[in-house]
Amino acid sequence: MTAVVLNVSDESVAVSEHAVVIAGGGPTGLMLAAELTLAGIDVAVVERRASQELDGSRSGGLHSRTIEVLDQRGIADRFLAEGQAMQVQAFAGIPLDISDFPTRHNYGLALWQSQFERMLAAWVGELGVPIAREREVTGFAQDDTGVDVELSGGQSLRADYLVGCDGGRSVVRKAAGIEFPGWDPTRSWLIAEVEMDEEPEFGLREGGGIGRAADERLVRFALLEKDVEHTGEPTLEDVSEVLIAVDGTDYGVHSPSWISRFTDMTRQAASYRKGRVLLAGDAAHVHPPQGGQGLNTGVQDAVNLGWKLAQVVNGTSPDGLLDTYHAERHPIAARVLRNTMAHIALGGSDDRHQALRDTMTELLGMDEPRKRYAAMMSGLGIHYDLGEGHPLLGRRMPDLDLVTADGRPRVFALLHEARPVLLNLGQPGGFDITPWANRVQLIDAQYRGAWELPALGAVTAPTAVLIRPDGYVAWVGERTQLGLADALTTWFGAPTAA
């Protein structure tokens, strides 16, 4: 599709054409825009905010697998320079140390979403992605050849595909008629940064706590509210009421920097796709923030979807490849929903809940349960069901130090341009993938170290691996090339004629 520059400052611009339009310029939408652009796809982002500035608190950190994903694109150092590497993994407040996990990033990164978005947006800007700001998708109509996308302000866009990354109240999801089943809220938390005339007692409270904000003039808290249902945005009066209910005083609260609210509502889209419309991030799944999994899951949605959508748009792969996006990512988010529900269930303050927490603390103090749950929470244990075979199949490819004729690259360095890799670790020249040579990099390399996966431990060394652009292994060679042509065709399109 021929691209027309989207001029967001000119109300007379009636129609602009792009291969993909993304509704929402948060972490998921930005990451998806970058992935598509790296694959040569013309994409535009529609974002209601005038800038990347955020109102209130959002995610406070990146998990290990998300850091790896950024490392696969060669930009992890930007984020590591501003964040603080630390052990952030926890299950319902029970620490899960991953410092012994086999990854370069065996830690999490304390980094506010406002910082993460700003740096991600800067990268997207370097890639030249247009962002239509102060605009929202208000509706769409799809046909056999594309999607007409209506925007606030009277503009419209034409795209091959529309992706809703527009949050839990997603207009795209609702307009597509995709059901959003799940569980209604049972608890509500008020969260804010405020000034106080009196210093409170810092520490935990039932279901929350009070602490010092990064700006030492401010106090940050998250506290349970008495009521679950609310009709309006939270106010300073609500802040005062919840403080009095919990501590008997509001400490002379005033001058809020921001006030927000979240609940334990838990829902997931019944389908991540309807025709030419797809969902990712909070538009596809919402849950309470316990465990800090929302932003991380959304970013990894984007990395799973991006290369697949690019190959369908450019005609390399059939439309059916997009069905693997739902098949792979829906179960991952479903598990996130279930474990956050367990977090909430462990959050009560009575003796029975404390007994349950004590039991879970003892269980997760054991090596095997700790590794299993830490791998799940960190994203390092993600396993896409690609059939029976070697333990690497469907799992993240380790970032090995390789030896090649051209130097000593890391595996992740081979993925910087988001192109698939057939890594031959056996006899050099043992593979001929000429029919896919313009799509797949063939790298002859040596690796003499151990092969180890988080939670699983040591695995048998393969002779070759086919690595998808998202870093997951699509085929494993064990002294044979059986099934390689099928895997190449399934994931990267039919072979070209000789």
Report pLDDT for 347. 79
Report pLDDT for 247. 94
List strands edge to edge, sheet with 108-110: 61-62, 108-110, 84-86
Determine what percent of the chain is predicted with pLDDT higher than 70: 96
The amino acid that residue 390 corresponds to is H
Structure tokens at 14: 């009636």
Query: Above 90 in pLDDT, residue 8?
Result: no
Report pLDDT for 13. 32
Q: Which of 203, 199, 202, 206 is nearest to 242 (CA)?
A: 206
State the Cα torsion 198-200-201-207 to the nearest 10°.
Answer: 170
Lowest mean pLDDT segment, chosen from 117-126, 341-350, 460-469:
341-350
Average pLDDT over residues 335-339: 96
Answer yes or no: are the C-beta atoms of 474 and 395 closer than 8 Å: no
Ordered alpha helix ranges (H), 39-103: 64-72, 76-82
Report pLDDT for 354. 87
Average pLDDT over residues 353-372: 94
> Residue 349: which pLDDT band, with cuts at 50, 70 and 90?
confident
Q: What is the DSSP string of 424-476?
A: E-SSTT----GGGTTTSEEEE-B--S--EETTTEE-PPPSEEEE-TTSBEEEE
State the Cα torsion 6-10-15-18 to the nearest 10°.
Answer: 10
> Residue 2: which pLDDT band, with cuts at 50, 70 and 90?
very low
Report pLDDT for 5. 36
Answer yes or no: are the C-beta atoms of 149 and 158 closer than 8 Å: yes
Q: pLDDT by residue (tens digit) across 10-67? A: 332 334 899 999 999 999 999 999 999 999 999 999 999 988 877 655 667 899 999 9
Average pLDDT over residues 429-442: 94
| 304 Ramachandran zone, left/alpha/beta (phi>0; psi -120 to 50) | alpha
Q: What is the DSSP string of 242-276?
A: HHHHHHS--TTEEEEEEEEEEE--EEE-S-SEETT
Lowest mean pLDDT segment, chosen from 166-170, 214-218, 256-260, 266-270:
214-218
Report pLDDT for 54. 72
Cβ neighbours of 432 (radius 10 Å): 9
> Residue 1: which pLDDT band, with cuts at 50, 70 and 90?
very low
Structure tokens at 497: 């004629």
Report pLDDT for 10. 37
Report pLDDT for 56. 57
Which residues are CB-contacts of 204 (< 8 A; sequence separation ≥ 6)?
none
Q: pLDDT by residue (tens digit) across 190-204? A: 999 999 999 999 987
456 CA to centre of own chain: 23
